[in-house]
């Protein structure tokens, strides 16, 4: 019976992670505002952060990375998919680790703000580096403000969704 309980728990984690990956993909694809260097601004970051805050490091990484990379593939941004997988997966890890480190000292709200902001700064730097190798670092700087706007929206909406999930006892 212990094996059945463990299997049930793992199945629930896999299903929840898969749902967040699908939601990340959909949130990324629903609203796409083109940015200057063939990328786009989207709402996927809110679910990426949610994956980091709600899941274990491995499940959060995979959920955020796969969902975001699939959105790139389905949207025709194939060149971006490998970088997106890594950047968004690491964003979830940063959100997870930062939250775990900070929340005991300063509370959940402060921990989410700091860990989410750190993850978003990483996203901005990650795409600046990736696009720098593709288009040149001067040209890639053009997308920094757009990625910053995406990061702020992702942080605010992600925190709001987390609050809703907590109130509804989803987490």
Q: What is the pLDDT of residues 145-167, one digit of tens each?
A: 989 989 999 999 999 999 898 88
Percent of the chain with pLDDT over 70: 93
Structure confidence by residue, pLDDT tens digits, 58-114: 999 999 999 999 999 999 999 999 999 999 999 999 999 999 999 999 999 999 999
In which band, very low, low, confident or very high, does the pLDDT at 41 lie, cut at 50, 70 and 90? confident
Residues 6+ apart with CB under 8 A from 165: 50, 54, 171
Helix axis angle for 81-106 and 57-74, nearest 10°, is: 140
Name the CA dihedral angle for 119, 165, 110, 128, rounded to a multiple of 10 degrees.
10
CA dist 80 and 33 (Å) reads 16
pLDDT at 8 over 70: no
156 within 8 A of 149, measured Cβ to Cβ = no
| Per-residue confidence band for 39, with pLDDT thresholds at 50, 70 and 90 | confident
CA 110 to chain centre: 18
Does the pLDDT at position 30 exceed 80?
yes
Is the pLDDT assigned to residue 2 strictly greater than 60? no
């Amino acid at each position: 019976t212990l094996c059945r309980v463990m299997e049930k728990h793992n199945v629930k984690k896999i299903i929840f992670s898969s749902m967040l990956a699908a939601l990340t993909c959909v949130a990324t694809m629903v609203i796409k505002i083109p940015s200057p260097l063939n990328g786009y601004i989207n709402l996927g970051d809110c679910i990426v952060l949610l994956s980091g805050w709600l899941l274990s490091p491995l499940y959060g990484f995979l959920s955020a990375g796969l969902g975001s990379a699939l959105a790139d593939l389905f949207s025709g941004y194939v060149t971006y998919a490998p970088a997106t997988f890594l950047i968004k997966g690491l964003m979830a890890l940063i959100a997870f680790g930062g939250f775990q480190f900070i929340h005991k000292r300063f509370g959940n709200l402060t921990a989410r703000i700091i860990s989410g902001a750190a993850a978003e700064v990483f996203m901005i730097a990650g795409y600046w580096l990736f696009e720098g190798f593709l288009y040149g670092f001067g040209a890639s700087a053009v997308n920094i403000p757009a990625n910053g706007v995406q990061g702020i929206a992702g942080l605010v909406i992600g925190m709001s969704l987390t609050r809703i999930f907590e109130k509804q006892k989803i987490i």
